[in-house]
Amino acid sequence: MRTNQNHASAMPWWLAVTTCLFLPAVWITAAWADTTDETAGQATANTFNPTLPQHRPLKLSDPVAAAPPVDLDLVTGTIEERIERVLSVMTIEEKIGQMCQVAQFGDELGDAIKADLRAGRIGSLFYTGNAAQTREAQRIAQEESRLGLPLLTPRDVIHGFRTVFPIPLGQSASWNPELVEAACQAAAVESLEQGINWTFAPMMDVSRDARWGRIAESLGEDPVLAAELAAAMVRGYQGDDEQRGIAACAKHYVAYGLTEGGRDYNRAQVAISELHSVFLRPFEEAVRAGCATVMTGFSSINGVPPSGDTELVRKHLKERCGFEGLVVSDWGSVIEMIEHGYAQNRSEAARLAVTAGVDMEMASTTYQENLLSLIEAGALETDLIDDAVRRVLRVKFQYAMDDQRKQLSSTLEERRACALALATQSVVLLKNDSERLPLDPNKPGKIALIGPLADAARDQLGCWMLDGKAEEAVTLAAALREAIGERGQLTVAAGLESTIDQSAAGIADAVAAAKQSDVAILCVGEGWQLSGEARCRVDLNLPGNQSELVRAVTETGTPTILVVMAGRPLTIGDEAERCAAVLYAWHPGTMGGPALVNVLMGRESPSGKLPVTFPKHVGQSPLYYNCPNTGRPALAGTRALIGSGLSDFPEEQKYRSHYLDEDPFPLYPFGYGLSYTQFEYSDLELSRPAIEPGQTLAVRVRLTNVGSVAADEVAQLYVQDTYASLVRPVRELKAFRRVHLDPNESTILEFALSTDELAFFDNEAQLRLEAGEFRVGVGGDSTVPLSASFQLREATVASDRSLPK
């Protein structure tokens, strides 16, 4: 199952980090406690902690007490030999126990959980309060149970553990798989120190709707970018044959990011062709990368909840794709099939989930309560139970037991440097009129730092952050104060108490600070609690009274730089128009302040590119670049009718796909991002005018830094299939490359475009490669002209979906 082992080998930390960064020593070591602190795993105020009944002993059979240990060799032989050795001595109750994941809250293990650990009735225990508790649970399972099997001890390590990296959507803005892989490796190191051996990440749901709160956890709207970054995350978390990390989990299988209306847990309806061409692609790439586990999602997909979908889980994921790892439900998603109306009762929910291929139930207890009676009644085959247990044991032997591999390791300084590098590369420059940025680091002058996020340590860490510490985050205020020192003057004025503050009491102080300064930096956006799971919005404007704060500050006439920290794209068109420069920083994590200083002061040229399309108005949502064409697309130059002074659209624009009160185009397109230099693409060339199935086309282009600043550019290759048996997207990203060029330096970029990348799925889930014309373009964002074309001469249809092991 493990593939790409050479690529997965431990990357030298400084290989990923040396591209970039000035790293003041003060930011590496200040206020940072040893991450081996036994309380580092303590749940913070934002821990996901739904109401659960107090755990009581699982009533699978009597007696409750554990049987005497057996002399079982768990060490020698291959993993598959050890699995069969264990299976041969397991009781049916012990097998069911391996399929049960129990949530533990509080600072101590309860007597009921201890009893079930000794009886072999728990296969996985998560949300333990601290490392000591986790290790005690592991000790009981291995030393006091009959079989001595280790526990899987997962935690939501979404974008870092103690060292907090940018939210995943921010990481995606770096378009840098190597650096993203290094970040996940750093998170794995800190997780291992706390006894954690499994993370519920990466989330690779292709996400097109900015209203959805969990877009913050996603890798954006494009399946190619999401797939490549997801595979990098898997490699980073899991390590390789020489260095062991923690098991990764591909979630949420599948199309959760398509949730209707942008409301969490809502249904998704998707054509079979698009399901296979777009939404399954990142999961299949994760399987190729050796991902150990997959999590089923909450939303029903075409009327079927994934936790009960035999076609998608057992047949597609396990059989067609050859996935040999563990499938776990999401929190309560098995029992929620009753609420969906798909299962009549708890027993049927358990039967449907096991039949579909869900090997372990998270949080709810339908497996614990019903599997034994279902087996005894002949409603479930024991072969299905054995298959599930094999998969659980396979992951345990890979990640929960000591073996010949060393654990992943790194130093605190390396992890902090990686966090700084990734935060810096995730910042996207959206506007820079008159080259207002960068600021002069030698003559910074008087700076007013304004806004509720200017010195908001917890907010910059973002959502789904369980184990980082706000007091260890370096804010923009702290970093900027350190950077300008005695050479300039910094005035900090929040203006608002928080991002949702509706008052105007502090705006006068912010205006006064701006009037007395040479430049104002306005730090606005969303607090951490406004994005993430179940944090969906119907309004994408700046919340609270932040728009009024922006208006008041910009009306002083002081040149203003807008810095936005948020978990989603926001409709900031009016605010951006008022400001001289705009930086989008997402929620940048522990090193967010120094990263922003790197960009503001010109230590690094901004190189981030948008992983999602930014709408002008929430009414455009969902808005994404690779939409299918329509027979009446909006014409370039179409503008809103209302407010134009016209009585109707011009004749040629009337019956087109547009709105009356806003134009149909994005505020900023997918892939967009400016730099402190200028890049020029020229001499686009194709290696041949036509190709046949199985051949590869070389696409070459010259990239030149025509400016005066050394910088990185993310070159993007887009393709359009101009004619097919199904309506195809207007364009699709096929490849990208991050390139560093000095001033006046030029290089030839070559992309290999195989015919496999031109294929698509029809509504019978058949993979089709159809003859015809394809157009190609390479540039800095998704609006690049598709100025070259080639022919594919033959067509094929292939139904084989197996993935290489």
Tell me the domains of the chain and their CATH numbers.
Answer: 5-20+94-406 (3.20.20.300), 427-600 (3.40.50.1700), 679-798 (2.60.40.10)
Q: Going by DSSP bridges, is the β-strand pair 519-525/560-565 parallel, antiparallel, or unpaired?
A: parallel
The pLDDT score that the predictor gives to residue 642 is 92
Would you place residue 70 in the very low, low, confident or very high pLDDT band (cuts 50, 70, 90)? confident
The pLDDT score that the predictor gives to residue 636 is 92
Per-residue pLDDT tens over the stretch 278-298: 999 999 999 999 999 999 999
Q: Answer for the pair 27, 424: CB distance below 8 angstroms, yes or no.
A: no
The pLDDT score that the predictor gives to residue 67 is 64
Per-residue pLDDT tens over the stretch 22-43: 344 334 334 344 444 444 444 3
Give percent above pLDDT 70 in the chain.
91
- Mean pLDDT value across residues 570-575: 98
Distances (CA, A) of 30 to 3, 33, 76, 412, 432: 40, 9, 45, 11, 33
The pLDDT score that the predictor gives to residue 403 is 77
Would you place residue 464 in the very low, low, confident or very high pLDDT band (cuts 50, 70, 90)? very high
Would you place residue 127 in the very low, low, confident or very high pLDDT band (cuts 50, 70, 90)? confident
330 catalytically annotated: yes
What does the alpha-carbon distance between residue 185 and residue 245 come to, in Å, rounded to a whole number? 7
Q: Answer for the pair 422, 738: CB distance below 8 angstroms, yes or no.
A: no
Per-residue pLDDT tens over the stretch 251-278: 999 999 999 999 999 999 999 999 999 9
Q: How many CB atoms lie within 10 A of CB 722?
A: 12
* pLDDT higher than threshold 60 for residue 798: yes
CA angle (306, 310, 316) in 5-degree steps: 90
The pLDDT score that the predictor gives to residue 56 is 53
Q: Who contacts 66 (Cβ-Cβ below 8 Å, separation ≥6)?
A: 118, 119, 120, 144, 145, 146
Q: Answer for the pair 203, 237: CB distance below 8 angstroms, yes or no.
A: no
Per-residue pLDDT tens over the stretch 693-715: 999 999 999 999 999 999 999 99
* pLDDT higher than threshold 90 for residue 20: no
Distances (CA, A) of 489 to 445, 515, 519, 560, 763: 6, 14, 11, 16, 63
Q: Answer for the pair 624, 670: CB distance below 8 angstroms, yes or no.
A: yes
Tokens 């910094």 found at = 490
Averaged pLDDT score across all residues of the chain:
91
Q: Which of 212, 131, 225, 223 is nearest to 173 (CA)?
A: 225
Would you place residue 65 in the very low, low, confident or very high pLDDT band (cuts 50, 70, 90)? low
Q: Who contacts 485 (Cβ-Cβ below 8 Å, separation ≥6)?
A: none
The pLDDT score that the predictor gives to residue 805 is 41
The pLDDT score that the predictor gives to residue 51 is 45
Q: Which of 431, 474, 426 is nearest to 454 (CA)?
A: 474
Q: What residue type is assigned to position 797 of the chain?
A: V
Q: What residue type is assigned to position 394 of the chain?
A: R
Distances (CA, A) of 238 to 15, 166, 178, 218: 19, 20, 14, 19
Per-residue pLDDT tens over the stretch 758-778: 999 999 999 999 999 999 999
The pLDDT score that the predictor gives to residue 802 is 56
Q: How many CB atoms lie within 10 A of CB 345?
A: 12
Give 615-676 as a DSSP string.
PSSGGG-S--TTPBP-SSPPPTT---STTSS-SS--GGGTTSS--SSS-SS-SB-TT--B-S
Tokens 């209302």 found at = 642
What does the alpha-carbon distance between residue 173 and residue 168 come to, in Å, rounded to a whole number? 9
Q: Which is more confident, 672 or 62?
A: 672
Strands (E) across 473-556 are located at 488-493, 519-525
Strands (E) across 695-795 are located at 696-705, 711-721, 732-741, 746-754, 760-761, 767-769, 772-779, 788-792
3-state secondary structure of 13: helix
Tokens of 788: 């070259």
Would you place residue 791 in the very low, low, confident or very high pLDDT band (cuts 50, 70, 90)? very high
Q: Which is more confident, 771 or 19?
A: 771
Tokens of 564: 């936005």
In DSSP terms, 719 is beta-bridged to 732, 776
- Mean pLDDT value across residues 468-488: 96
Per-residue pLDDT tens over the stretch 349-380: 999 999 999 999 999 999 999 999 999 999 99
* pLDDT higher than threshold 70 for residue 46: no
Per-residue pLDDT tens over the stretch 660-687: 999 999 999 999 999 999 999 999 999 9
The pLDDT score that the predictor gives to residue 105 is 79
The pLDDT score that the predictor gives to residue 64 is 45
Q: Who contacts 251 (Cβ-Cβ below 8 Å, separation ≥6)?
A: 200, 201, 202, 203, 204, 205, 294, 295, 297, 330
Among 116, 209, 330, 359, the active-site one is: 330
Q: Going by DSSP bridges, is the β-strand pair 519-525/445-450 parallel, antiparallel, or unpaired?
A: parallel
Q: Which of 695, 694, 677 is nearest to 686 (CA)?
A: 695
Tokens of 601: 């002061």
Q: At residue 724, what are phi and psi to the nearest 5 degrees?
A: -160, 175
Q: For 401-415, 500-514, 584-598, 755-769, which range has the lowest pLDDT when averaged over its residues?
A: 401-415
Per-residue pLDDT tens over the stretch 575-609: 999 999 999 999 999 999 999 999 999 999 999 99
Task: Write out the H or E segment, with its range, that includes residue 444.
Answer: none
The pLDDT score that the predictor gives to residue 37 is 45
Per-residue pLDDT tens over the stretch 83-101: 999 999 999 999 999 999 9
Q: Answer for the pair 756, 782: CB distance below 8 angstroms, yes or no.
A: no
* pLDDT higher than threshold 80 for residue 240: yes
pTM comes to 0.93
Give 191-239 as a DSSP string.
HHTTT--EE---B------TTSGGGGGS--S-HHHHHHHHHHHHHHHHB
The helix/strand count (H/E) of the chain reads as 23, 27
DSSP assigned state of 782: T
Q: Which of 361, 363, 364, 385 is nearest to 373 (CA)?
A: 385
What does the alpha-carbon distance between residue 418 and residue 322 come to, in Å, rounded to a whole number? 34
Would you place residue 53 in the very low, low, confident or very high pLDDT band (cuts 50, 70, 90)? very low
